[in-house]
Amino acid sequence: MGLPTQVVTNADLAERIDTSDEWIRSRTGIAERRIVDARETTASLAITAARQALQRADADPRQVDLIIVATATPDYPLASTACLVQDAIGAVNAGAFDLGAGCSGFVYALVMGHRSIASGESELVLVIGADTLSRMVDWDDRATCVLFGDGAGAVLLRATEGSAGIHGTLLGSDGSGSQMLYVPAGGSARPASAETVANKEHALRMDGRQVYRFATQTMADACERVAERAGLPVDEIHHFVPHQANQRIIAQAAKRLQVDESRFVCNLERYGNTSAASVPIALCEAAEEGRFRPGDHIILVGFGAGLTWAAALLQWGETELARPVPWWHSLGRKALYGWARVRSRSRRTRRSIAQWLWRLLVPLTGLRD
């Protein structure tokens, strides 16, 4: 996980805008959230999460075949955040791309990673959900700014034999609802201008009630359908790891599915809605707390902008988290990250020198590109 250290409580927000701890807690279940400082970005959180996943799995970044970063808040519109992660961890043999499916993004990315492994294309896939929605909300809009937090979570998928792994997947979308949760400007439809900035059109807009209705219907449906695809009744699911948007949405899903709410992993009280990061952060925390046992069936389920929804049913394997990682492996990985930094800088310097030499030589030789 990559979590900013800065904690912003409901009371902190109530000092700035017309809201209260009581309103936020009772309507959402959120008590506090983590917010990035000026030096942190989506990529920096994603890199922390990626390094932690590699450490836990005791894996060599050079063996990673594919990196997928699910995010709605990339560091730059172009290039991808996945490439920044690839460079920082020294994954020199990996393909890398960002995936945009709003808050469903991590589960979408997990499904893509799984399919890449199932097709034989990849052996080791790093799947990350990372977002810094604090950079995209209007901090004067109490209907949205109290809901979101920043963070990143990562998992490493590996090709294995045996029953552990992903047994069922479901992806869905309904673009007719795209304007229920969106950022109006900054894309090709409405490029950035002084006017779009003045109108706060680069901030997230949401029709909360409509999204709420969509979410309560979709979450339970997606769980039922993915369980059906995997050939399992819902009451045989040991844990649900839902997108952490609102405790009431989670409670409604549990009620519809007729399962006890305690089977749902919830941490939104501490982090708020971290968008594409919410499912992997909840998954990683629950795994670290030892909540999952080998053989347990777990459903990951997300919904969000697009509109999109996604679910994956997996069976938990013998966990590697408990196995101590030899110190020299950790040291080796740290050395690799240092080497990756040097490699990246030297490649940039080489390119600058080559360009400088080219500019110098062209007038002398009369050569052109």
Which residues are near ligand UT7 by CB under 6 A?
19, 23-24, 27-28, 103, 142-143, 146, 181, 206, 208-209, 211-212, 215, 245-246, 273, 304
How many CB atoms are closer than 10 A to CB 322? Answer: 7
In angstroms, what is the minimal distance from the CB of 14 to ligand UT7?
A: 8
Closest to ligand UT7 by CB, 3 vs 245, is: 245
Give the pair of three-digit tokens for residue 41.
């970005």
Closest to ligand UT7 by CB, 28 vs 315, is: 28
Helix residue ranges, H only, 258-326:
268-271, 278-288
Residue nearest to ligand UT7 (CB): 208
In angstroms, what is the minimal distance from the CB of 265 to ligand UT7?
A: 16
**φ and ψ of 315, to 5 deg:** -110, 125
**What whole-number distance in Å separates Cα of residue 22 and Cα of residue 10?**
9
In angstroms, what is the minimal distance from the CB of 5 to ligand UT7?
A: 23
How many CB atoms are closer than 10 A to CB 27? Answer: 16
If DSSP codes are grouped into helix, strand and coil, which group holds residue 93? coil
Closest to ligand UT7 by CB, 3 vs 89, is: 3
**Considering 103, 145, 223, 284, which one is annotated as catalytic?**
103
In angstroms, what is the minimal distance from the CB of 93 to ligand UT7?
A: 34
Residue 286: which of 241, 245, 317 has the closest Cα? 241
Closest to ligand UT7 by CB, 59 vs 181, is: 181
In angstroms, what is the minimal distance from the CB of 103 to ligand UT7?
A: 4
297-304 and 308-315: which strand pairing? antiparallel
**Considering 83, 273, 284, 297, which one is annotated as catalytic?**
273
**What whole-number distance in Å separates Cα of residue 22 and Cα of residue 98?**
37
Cα 243–chain centre separation: 10
In angstroms, what is the minimal distance from the CB of 367 to ligand UT7?
A: 55
Closest to ligand UT7 by CB, 164 vs 183, is: 183
**Is 297 marked active-site?**
no
**What whole-number distance in Å separates Cα of residue 318 and Cα of residue 123?**
18
Closest to ligand UT7 by CB, 65 vs 150, is: 150
Residue 67: which of 41, 52, 47 has the closest Cα? 47
Give residue 46's identity as a one-letter amino acid code: A
Closest to ligand UT7 by CB, 61 vs 272, is: 272
Contact call for residues 297 and 315 (beta carbons, < 8 A): yes
Cα 365–chain centre separation: 51
Give the pair of three-digit tokens for residue 109.
């990315």
**What whole-number distance in Å separates Cα of residue 318 and Cα of residue 121?**
24
**Is 329 marked active-site?**
no
If DSSP codes are grouped into helix, strand and coil, which group holds residue 303? strand
**What whole-number distance in Å separates Cα of residue 5 and Cα of residue 301?**
27
In angstroms, what is the minimal distance from the CB of 149 to ligand UT7?
A: 11
**Is 103 marked active-site?**
yes
- Residues with active-site annotation: 103, 243, 273
